[in-house]
Structure formats: C-alpha cells, structure tokens
C-alpha cells in the first residue's frame, strides 16, 4: 500500500512543483491547519469542555457570539501572529483588523477567516467549520491598513476550510486544484484523502433556506419553482434538497457529489446584498468551487471579480455545479 501523504509532504511537493508556493505560504497553511486541530479538540469536547452556549456578546454585525466563536477566533490569532508569515488578520468576529504586534516580524501575507462557521449548529452537534482566505499585501510600504485587505477574490493566494463533522477534514486550494485531508486522530496528522476534486457540471440537488421563499426576488423563485416541478416540469427531472445551515457542510457536500448552493438577496433586509460575507465566506468558497470546475456568482457576476469596499461586506451567493449556477445567473440577467 502506498505511504499516506501528510499535509506537510503535500505542501513540500507543491512547493517543488510550483515555485510560487513559497516557504512562507507553506508555513502559513500549516499553522492554520494546526489551529484547526485545536479548534476540533474543543468542538469534540462539547458540553464536557464547557464550550457550548452563548458568550453573552455581539459581533460587529450584531450577531450573538457563541463561546466557540470566540475561542476559535483566539486560537487562530494566537497560532498565527508570531510566525513571521503575516502582516495582519481580519475575522468575521472582530470589528477591525488585527495587525501583527511589533514584537514579531511582519510577513507578506494577510489572513482572513470565519473562525466558526455555522454557529447555529454548535449546540446541536451538527457539522460546523473554519473558513480561511489568504491574500498578499500588495503595497510594499511599512504598516498595514484595512485598505490592504480590499482585494478581489481572484487575488487569493490560497483558501480553504476545515469541517468539524463525523470526520475533521481540511479542504485546500493553492490555485492548483482542490485537495482534501482527513485528520487522523491517532497520529494527529492531516492525511491526503482526495486530490483533483471535481464537481459534476450537472446536478439534481439544491441547497437553499426554503423558509425565506416569500422574500426572494423573482429569478430565484423562478429557478427553485422549476426544480420543485420535478419530472413533470420544464427541467424534466426530480430534484432533491439539502440545507445544513453550515456553509462549510453544504459546500463540502457539493465538492463531494455536486449540487448548487444559494444564499440570495431577500426582502427581509433589502439594503444588504445578502447574508454571507464576501471576504470570509464567499471568496474562499468561490476559489475552491472554481478550482474544482464549478462556478460562483452573486446572480449577476463572478464573485471573485467583486472589488470589496468594506471589510465586512456582504454578498448574494450562488455556487456549485456549473450548469445550474449559469442557469440561475441567466435568470437574474434576463430579469434586469
Ligand atoms: P455564521 O457565520 O454566523 O455561522 O453564519 C453563516 C451561516 C452559513 O454557514 C449558512 O449557510 C447560513 O449562515 C445559514 O443561515 P440561515 O440560518 O439563515 O439558514
Ligand atoms: Mg459564517
């Protein structure tokens, strides 16, 4: 049997194959993976570790923070700030950026994360995850500001997530396809379990929170109505529906067996483009999905082309199997 390939070995081999994966980027990814292992330990302890429930505070978006949101945020910051590979970090759970303190060397990368995605599932023992995105600090001057982070997703150097489910799985792209690593709890190492992940272009499975149906815009209603009409309708096939309410888990399913995920704009908050955050959720997932042959748009344009104007900017998200994403995007364009 072939020797298992660890995350470290995978990264070393990628480094040899592609000079653009510098040792700084390798270090960064390994440190993020190590932080995810620590978060996985807390998640697994659950009630025994006294990590469940609310922290009694709110984040910048006015959402109630869970204890695990805060623990995961701290783990990621502590693990990453001293290595010399980063200039600054930004998180869904922090109002403003965290600049690497002066006592440590400053690196060339910027790290963005949603430390614990799927917060509503923490207390009910359903899959949750950590999502991360890596940018380069393009401006070479000393110091770093929020402006440095406002880059379109197509400039990401790496992105990924770690899903804490029945297995803990790290999914990664450095711009050369998508690889999956399963945490071997006995050895404590992430082992390569899937490479060159590819999403089928067609699917019969959609993911959307149907309880918001009455608030959707007409193109989304049109698309979902056609799916629901099944074999008897214009699509001529029956569709299945899944909604975990953890984006990591829904995207993981799509990377594994195809499907389409939608979190569209809706009338509940007409002034916000959508619920999900462009830089912590949509961009890293869009990078992974495109690298696996899928597509990701906001209904009108490619997500990774959007130039952010604010750190916590929100966006409508439609991603997954290419032909379905193209169809729902076309319905939006036709409605303009
Ligand atoms: P979170 O980062 O606060 O957990 O919110 C993001 C999550 C996504 O993981 C998921 O797709 C969505 O919110 C579920 O929202 P809803 O509860 O409206 O269905
Ligand atoms: Mg989230």
pLDDT tens-digit profile, the chain (336 residues): 678 999 999 999 988 887 768 889 999 999 999 999 999 999 999 888 777 888 777 777 777 788 898 999 999 999 999 999 999 999 999 999 999 999 999 999 999 999 999 999 999 999 999 999 999 998 777 789 999 999 999 999 999 999 999 999 999 999 999 999 999 999 999 999 999 999 999 999 999 999 999 999 999 999 999 999 999 999 999 999 999 999 999 999 999 999 999 999 999 999 999 999 999 999 999 999 999 999 999 999 999 999 999 999 999 999 999 999 999 999 999 998
Q: Which residues neighbour 142 within 8 Å (Cβ) at sequence distance 6 or greater?
A: none
Q: What is the pLDDT of residue 1?
A: 61
Distance 119 CA to ligand 1 centre (A): 7
195 marked among binding-site residues: no
Pocket-testing residue among 264, 276, 284, 296, ligand 1, by greatest number of atoms within 8 A of Cβ: 276
Q: What is the pLDDT of residues 208-239, one digit of tens each?
A: 999 999 999 999 999 999 999 999 999 999 99
Tokens 């393009």, residue? 138
Whether residue 245 has its Cβ less than 6 Å from ligand 1: yes
In this prediction the ipTM stands at 0.97
Please state, as a whole number, how many other Cβ atoms lie within 10 Å of the Cβ of residue 45.
12
Contact yes or no for 164/287 (Cβ under 8 A): no
Say yes or no: CB of residue 5 within 6 Å of ligand 1.
Answer: no
Q: Which ligand is located closest to the Cα atom of residue 63?
A: 1
For residues 238 and 245, the answer to whether their CB atoms sit within 8 Å is no
Helices (H) and strands (E) in the chain, counts: 7, 17
How far does the chain reach from its first CA to its final CA, in angstroms? 56
* pTM of this structure: 0.96
Nearest atom within ligand 1 for CA of residue 119: 4
Ligand-binding site membership of 114 (annotated): yes
What are the CA-CA distances from residue 141 to residues 14, 137, 157 (Å)?
A: 30, 9, 20
- Ligand 1 pocket check: which of 64, 114, 247, 316 to mutate, most ligand atoms within 8 Å of Cβ? 247
61 lines ligand 1 (CB under 6 A): no
């Amino acid at each position: 049997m072939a020797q298992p390939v660890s995350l470290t070995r995978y990264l070393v081999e990628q480094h040899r194959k592609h000079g653009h994966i510098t040792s700084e980027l390798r270090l960064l990814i390994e440190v993020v993976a190590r932080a995810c292992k620590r978060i996985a330990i807390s998640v697994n302890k659950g009630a025994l570790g006294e990590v469940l429930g609310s922290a009694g505070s709110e984040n910048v978006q006015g959402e109630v923070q869970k204890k695990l949101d805060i623990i995961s945020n701290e783990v990621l910051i502590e693990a990453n700030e001293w290595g010399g590979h980063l200039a600054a970090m930004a998180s869904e759970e922090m109002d403003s950026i965290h600049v690497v303190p002066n006592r440590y060397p400053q690196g060339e990368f910027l790290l963005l994360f949603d430390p614990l995605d799927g917060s509503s599932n923490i207390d009910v023992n359903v899959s949750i995850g950590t999502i991360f995105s890596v940018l380069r600090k393009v401006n070479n001057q000393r110091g770093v500001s929020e402006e440095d982070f406002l880059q379109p997703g197509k400039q990401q150097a790496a992105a990924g997530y770690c899903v804490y489910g029945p297995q803990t799985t790290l999914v990664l792209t450095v711009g050369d396809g998508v690889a999956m690593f399963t945490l071997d709890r006995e050895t404590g190492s992430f082992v390569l379990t899937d490479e060159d992940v590819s999403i089928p272009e067609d699917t019969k499975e959609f993911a959307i929170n149907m309880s918001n149906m009455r608030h959707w815009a007409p193109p989304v209603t049109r698309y979902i109505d056609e799916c629901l009409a099944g074999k008897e309708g214009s699509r001529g096939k029956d569709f299945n529906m899944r909604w975990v309410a953890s984006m990591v888990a829904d995207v993981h399913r799509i990377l594994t067996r195809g499907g389409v995920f939608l979190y569209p704009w809706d009338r509940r908050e007409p002034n916000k483009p959508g619920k999900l955050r462009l830089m912590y959720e949509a961009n890293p997932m869009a990078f992974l999905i495109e690298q696996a042959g899928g597509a990701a748009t906001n209904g009108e344009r490619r997500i990774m082309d959007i130039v952010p104007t604010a750190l916590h900017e929100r966006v409508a998200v439609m991603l997954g199997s290419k032909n379905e994403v193209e169809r729902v995007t076309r319905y939006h364009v036709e409605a303009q």
